[in-house]
Amino acid sequence: MKTTISLAQTNIQLGDVEGNLSSILPLVKEAAGQGSQLILLPELWSSGYDLENREKYHHENQRLLPLLLKAAQNSRIWIGGSWIEKENGNFLNTFLLIDPQGNIAAKYSKIHLFGLMDEVQWLKSGNSIQIASFPWGSAGLAICYDLRFPELFRRYGIEGVPVTLIVAQWPTRRIDHWSTLLRARAIENQMFIAAVNCVGQIGKELFGGKSAVINPWGEAITEGSEAEACLLTTEIDLGEVQRVRQWMPVFKDRRPEIYDAE
């Protein structure tokens, strides 16, 4: 089975929810015109990293949600990206996946909050993984800092998913870590990794792009620059995952009884 994925490597404008939506809507149409079944938007694409004003963005995001649902329906494309949501009085960084019929198909709330940016002060962490179902197969969902936790990706690998989708705001000063970890997660779990980052200055931080789709061999089949906004589109052959896993049966050779912690 093959599918086509687009990554919207955008320059997020801090606090400008309307403007950020206006920027991504043409990319949704462009991706659909290129034959993509799915477009990924960066982490917190609608607002940028401004967690102190999370209440404001939650309300604005909910007001704009019908427009996003309509965009997916009009272009007949899946849309995925994270933004601020409020649930049971708690604010979450939630990866929202919308299907081509304009329905919310899956949600994943960021499990690993980034201590260096005091995310725990503003957000509640998620407590469950999320595997989304597509016509072409399944995919695990992850957000930014999750990339540093191989246990999450191994869980997705054990569950048999062929792709993990990652949305991020990853800074330029650690962009080599980003590129290295994307390849590591793909190689060790013999899966595709489709990961979108943003570019430009957001507040005091410069973000480093390098959005990429990595194949199960750890090779980038498409990759953005560190500085330029762009739309990356590529086709992936999910049969490659099965071929790699059969050729080198890493999962069969695991010894979880020795090293898996409870």
Q: Cβ(47)–Cβ(83) under 8 Å?
A: yes
145-179: pLDDT as tens digits: 999 999 999 999 999 999 999 999 999 999 999 99
Nearest of 223, 155, 154, 222 to residue 185 by alpha carbon: 154
Residue 83 Rama label (left phi>0; alpha psi -120 to 50; beta):
beta
Q: pLDDT band at residue 206, thresholds of 50, 70 and 90?
A: very high
101-150: pLDDT as tens digits: 999 999 999 999 997 778 989 999 999 999 999 999 999 999 999 999 99
Q: Is the pLDDT of residue 229 over 90?
A: yes
Residue where the block lists tokens 């048999």: 160
* Core vs surface per residue 91-115: b (16+ CB within 10 A) or e: bbbbbbbbbbebeebbbbbbbbbbe
Query: How high is the pLDDT of residue 162?
Result: 98
Please tell me whether residue 88 adopts helix, strand or coil conformation: coil
Q: Which distant-in-sequence residues (6+ apart) come within 8 Å of 251 by Cβ?
A: 157, 158, 190, 245
- Is the torsion defined by CA of 81, 104, 38, 133 positive or negative? positive
Maximum pairwise Cα distance, the chain: 52
Helix ranges (H only) for the chain are: 17-33, 54-75, 119-122, 150-158, 175-189, 239-247, 256-259
Give me the active site residues, please. 43, 110, 144
User: How do strand 2-9 and strand 90-98 relate by DSSP bridges?
Assistant: unpaired
Query: How high is the pLDDT of residue 260?
Result: 73
Q: What domains does the chain contain, in order, with CATH numbers?
A: 2-254 (3.60.110.10)
pTM of the model: 0.96
Task: Enter the DSSP assignment of 93.
Answer: E
